[in-house]
Amino acid sequence: MTDNIYEYKDEKNWFVGKWQGFNTLAGLGQVSNEAYLRLNHDLASLLDSDKVDSKDNQNWRPNGYDVTVIKKSSDFRLIAFVVDMIAQETGRPLKVKQHQGAVLVTEKERLLLVHLPEAGVKLDDFFGNSGAEKLGDTILIATRNEGKTKEFRKMFEKLGIKVENLNDYPDLPEVAETGMTFEENARLKAETISEITGKMVLSDDSGLKVDVLGGLPGVWSARFSGPDATDAKNNAKLLHELAMVFELKDRSAQFHTTLVVAAPGKESLVVEADWPGYIATEPRGDNGFGYDPLFLVGETGRTAAQLSAQEKNEISHRGQAVKKLMEVFPAWQQEH
């Protein structure tokens, strides 16, 4: 704590401050309390520990400002006054800039604070004529399947994130899924495409694991019956492999999904989910695809192909994995 007294005064602005550890901003009646609370909330956030790189700011310590506003006509002048106090007391290279009516606070290459006027700022003014269209984070789903993309779009729109898929990037090369596990394959696709495009990328690898077959078909689920595999051929081969397994309890299986989100310079995010059930002795149901007509859901006696799309999305391996992803994704996205 220091005994330094700070002051700024001109014809329309007069501020007096002391560094004494409370992060308070008080006015003498010319501005509403709500306006001071809003402004103080923004300024106090500059002293949040997660905005301070302790390696670069050895002088940083958890004290704060105490500022009295005698008169004010400019948010910029007040913000610049408080930021200068913080910079002098902590040794941090903070800078204040004005841009189209907004006030920006930066530290080296990081934007720490954007303070907007109460009426806001027009997007085209702030970002330029083409910039507003590019506003917001985007995630690239590593699939050309529009149905799967639609499912993910519903989820990510709730987080304010735009969704693209590989159909938006026709020149991207196909990534061979040469991994021996679901995670290896999902990582290969997500991390390779992220490295090529510089974008945040989500990839999934899914398949059926049958216990009595040692986990097969597993990562080979889509091509279980050979290079010319179809859903019908894969189902026929699976029934053939289980022809001598008569007890339902011995025909236990799980649908599995691994989701991987990759972004440049970050450790990839991985979530997994299993959907337990059994393999029926004959196909039933007209919905779904792949092994759905043979997969008996838990103890229900119904196959996945006998469920509606909404029922399946609620309880399936992919539905469970997406729910897990939505729980951990916001925190992962905020990591540096």
Beta partners for 206? 257
User: Sheet containing 110-115: which strands, arranged edge to edge?
Assistant: 94-99, 102-107, 110-115
Residues 258/182, Cβ–Cβ less than 8 Å: yes
**3-state SS class at 163:** strand
Do residues 226 and 220 lie in contact, with contact meaning Cβ atoms separated by under 8 Å? Answer: no
DSSP three-state, residue 271: strand
- Annotation says 205 is catalytic: yes
Longest dimension (CA), the chain: 94
> Can you tell me the distance from the alpha carbon of 60 to that of 48, in angstroms, rounded to the nearest whole number?
11
* Nearest of 80, 78, 85 to residue 64 by alpha carbon: 85
Q: How far apart are CA 324 and CA 327, in angstroms?
A: 5
- What SS3 state is found at 236? helix
Q: What share of the chain is helix, strand, coil (3-state, %, to 5)?
A: 40, 25, 35
Report the length, in residues, of the chain: 336
CA-CA-CA-CA torsion sign (101, 103, 108, 110):
negative
**Cβ atoms 267, 211 nearer than 8 A:** no
Structure tokens at 318: 């992919």
Distance CA 92, CA 55 (A): 11
Considering the candidates 42, 75, 204, 205, report the single residue annotated as catalytic.
205
Cα-to-chain-centroid distance, residue 86 = 32
d(CA 322, CA 153): 11
Catalytic positions: 205
